[in-house]
Amino acid sequence: MTVDAACRKAAGTLLMYELCKDAMRDVSYPSNGIDLYALVAAKRALASYDGTARAVGALLGGGGSLNGADRDAYALCRESYAQATGTMDGVVAALVGCRFADGDLGQVYRDGVAQVERCRDRVRSLPASPLYARNLVDRNMAVLAYFVGRLLVGV
């Protein structure tokens, strides 16, 4: 299956299709199995999470410039991103170990999306949070990983 075919099958919207094509930009040959695409999507999500987690750390480490609501929201985001990273690491391990036929992998993906959304729910109430846009990208990457992963066996 080509990248284009996998992205068309996984994505329900033009945004997700374009995000999928961008995420798969380094895959230079058609895969015999969708597992490669699922692995690439999960690793792209992890890379995106890492950048946001670093930004959260920088915001929290910036001294006393944050008010209490911002500090609390960003502390929750640090926790949410640690959980989401662990969850997506579990997805990667399952894909590498060919354990995607387990009935639980779909729930693991959904848990990861929820963990990223937990941060979003806190930062969207802050005025002009620098994390909101990053978190939205991360959520889309998590959802994309889930959509591509569903192609494996309907996880």
What domain range is 84 assigned to? Answer: 3-150
pLDDT in single tens digits along all 155 residues of the chain: 888 999 999 998 999 999 999 999 888 776 666 788 999 999 999 999 999 999 999 989 876 678 888 999 999 999 999 999 999 999 999 988 877 666 688 899 999 999 999 999 999 989 888 899 999 999 999 999 999 998 886 65
- pTM exceeds cut of 0.85: yes
CATH label of the domain that carries residue 57: 1.20.140.40
Decide if 53 contacts 85 (C-beta within 8 A).
yes
| 155 domain-assigned | no
> Cα separation of 143 and 137, whole Å?
10
Q: Amino acid identity, residue 144?
A: L
Decide if 9 contacts 151 (C-beta within 8 A).
yes
| 44 domain-assigned | yes
How many distinct structural domains can be found in the chain?
1
Label residue 46 exposed, middle or buried (CB < 10 Å: 0-12, 13-18, 19+): buried
